[in-house]
Amino acid sequence: MPENYTENSSLFMKKVVCLLLVLTISICQSAQAQTVKTQKTANLTLYKDAGQPVEKRAENLLAQMTLDEKIGQMTQLCASSITLDGTKNLDLNLDKIREYITKEHVGSFLSGTGKAQRWVDFVKGIQEVAVKETRLGIPIIFGIDHVHGADYVDEATMLPHNLNLSCTFNTELAKQSANITAVESADLGHHWNFAPVLDVGKNPYWPRLYETFGEDPLVCSRFGAAFISAYQNNPEIAPYKLTACAKHFIGYSDPKSGWDRTPSEIPDQIIQEHFVPPFKAAFDAGVKTLMVNSGELNGEPVHISKKYLNDMLRKQLKFDGVILTDIKDILKVVEMHGGTKDEKEATRLAILAGVDMSMACSSTDFIQFMKALVNKKELSVTRIDESVRRILKLKFELGLFENPFPSSARLDKIGSAKHREMAYLSALESLVLLKNEKEIMPLSKETKKILIAGLGANSKRQLNGAWTLEWLGAEEARQPQNMETVLTAMRKSFSNSEVTWVDSADVHGSKGFFRFLDECTHTDAIVLCLGEQPYSEFKGNINDLNLDASQLRLIQAAKLAEKPVILILMAGRPRVISEITGDVDAIIFAGHPGVEGGNAIVNVLSGKENPSGKLSFSYPSSVGHFTTYYHKKSDKYQPQFPFGHGLHFGQVTYQNLTLSDSVITGNKVFTAQVQVTNKGKLPVKETVLWFGHQAYGKITRPVSQLVDFQKIELKPGETKMVRFSAKPEELFTYPDAAGKPIFDFEKGHLEVGGLRSNLHVKQGTSLRR
């Protein structure tokens, strides 16, 4: 053995050990690097983990987004910008959609019209690009105006408009309306419904009155909250989820001129008392999004108003959902209101006021302005992050990352018999019998000859109104095929009678007038379906609330014939009829009752159904002076038909109003009860309206204010005891101009069914001046 064997062996072993040590360190470092890489990858994809909290997912995704991607999420474009022909028809232009999503990073689209399967294909095509062809795979959120059912889907159930619904005073029907709308649209990828309208309908000239729930804040609050809760929490649409949108914040519905999008001048006190409550109720019901008033309020375009969007909406009312503009309304701050020098400045002010998303529709100028504002440090990335965070949270809450694609599996539910039945019940309860002189209604089925005329007599469009497949209401040929007009329903119901239709277009000039008069002379009863053609927004602006002369001529002819005349009012607002009210024997306010409206109207005419609707608005008697029922003592209330008016076939009486205690403390519950009796021969649904009055207050109080309503059913001859419980401080607390509650009630009364009972609060329990 060599001398140096031991030494060489030792040296060799040292080298082996060193090599092993190096290899071990290398392996450890590699493993550690792989672990770090894995952790880093996991962190980058955390937002895709549905098991993580929404807030955490939103923050994770937000941290990875570029400025361009963030601004894109704040942008909403119209469907017409991504279709082949530039209309709302559902032919997707893939080049355009790739341009807007992959290059401009647009996060939302809206509008469109067509058949259900085409909707599925259209939205799926958009989502394929958004989810599979972008770096982060953020799904788009699709918005639509389904304001009376899924009204941009050909096969859908066209429901009564909101004004009709509120005349039912049955919030269960609002829930059913929401459920039907959700079931018939969720599978199509319609995630975001721009409904309900929560504006209080105080001005009868305003052309969007039919989209409101009437003039009373309590009615608007309850119907709005009922719709939102049912729409956003519908188990039938799983795995899809939807969001409603409370609109239009705030003061939009009472413009001084009556025209749409024109200035409103409303004291802050009235804003807090009348216009805030429906939105507060919507927030309590969990609404996730809000749309801004397109007009200006007290000199401020609301889209750029910190006072209304930040101080009132964000701070006072604590709304932290997504605030959306109405269509092109940042541009309109400049062009319509003159609120800023240019659109770039309007964009800056709108974002600073609180807007999260711009409904830019057909332009990407908003994107360019936002980039320029950030580059010049006129807008901070921090402010942009606030909005994007809300938008991402909304998308996560709706489960869009897990279920981005629409489905064809349940399209058979659209327009189902079950939904049509509910549409019929809603239409029926919404019809308001305003007059029935000498009980001319119901018409006998043995009536030999019936003449029907007027613009709504043979019109499906008139029954469905605007926002039906098209903004202004689709043309007659495109209306649902499987629905009856008043004429066709009448011919089926009165099969033993000769039902003659005179087209309104034929009643022109003296010859046409006398031909119509001759028809009236040779009939036994005349049904006139009058009103106004469907319209939407500014297209419905008018200068005269009177029913127009061409329709009045029909009534004049009918009067000359001295035959029974029934007037069916088919309109989106109350057109003044005071001059001819005495010339007709019966009047029904039908509004726009939807796809089953023709059947409902005729079944009331025939007596098959007993009408139960009551006016959710005051029907004015003049074109000049009009006011809501909750006017102040110094004003006069002289409507043609008052708020809450509505007749039945037969009589319903109220007796024995009693209070548990007429002298109580402000925080003690008291109970009122009244006996309601059906003295008619038919079953009836009666709306019991409870009104409260405060005799005086620090801020003058209205002569009357609705404090509760209940709808009950009564068999012929049946009496029910109807009860109402509350605390005086709940009923009679009102806000000051800053929204601070005031309770200074000492004396007043409670009223129901024409009965009144005095109410006193013990001195020392109220907040005194």
- Measured in residues, the chain has a length of 769
Q: Which residues, in sequence order, are CB contacts of 404 under 8 Å at separation 6+?
A: 127, 130, 131, 139
Q: Where are the beta strands (DSSP E) in 337-417?
A: 358-361
* Nearest-angstrom CA–CA distance, 94 and 754: 64
Peptide bond into 248 cis (omega under 30): yes
Radius of gyration for the alpha carbons in the chain, expressed in angstroms and rounded: 31
CA 351 from centroid of its chain's CA atoms: 25
Tokens of 18: 């060193």
> Could you count the other beta carbons within 10 Å of the beta carbon of residue 8?
11
Cis peptide before 235 (omega within 30 of 0): no
Active-site residue, selected from the candidate residues 326, 329, 356, 708: 326
Q: Is the dihedral of CA 618, 622, 624, 625 positive or negative?
A: negative
By the 8 A CB rule, do 62 and 385 touch?
Answer: yes
Token pair belonging to 339: 């609120």
How are beta strands 670-678 and 719-726 bridged, if at all? antiparallel
Cα separation, 293 vs 275, in Å, equals: 12
| Token pair of 236 as six digits | 């039938």
Three-state SS annotation for 651-697: CEEEEEEEECCCEECCCCCEEEEEEEEECCCCCEEEEEEEEEEECCC
- Choose among 85, 80, 139, 84: nearest CA to 112: 80
Q: Inter-axis angle of helices 171-183 and 417-430, to 10 degrees?
A: 150
- Token code pair at residue 268: 């802050």
Look up 506 and say whether it is catalytic.
no
Q: Give CA–CA dist 717/513, Å, rounded.
A: 47
The burial of 46, by beta-carbon neighbours within 10 Å (0-12 exposed, 13-18 middle, 19 or more buried), is given as middle
Active site residues: 326
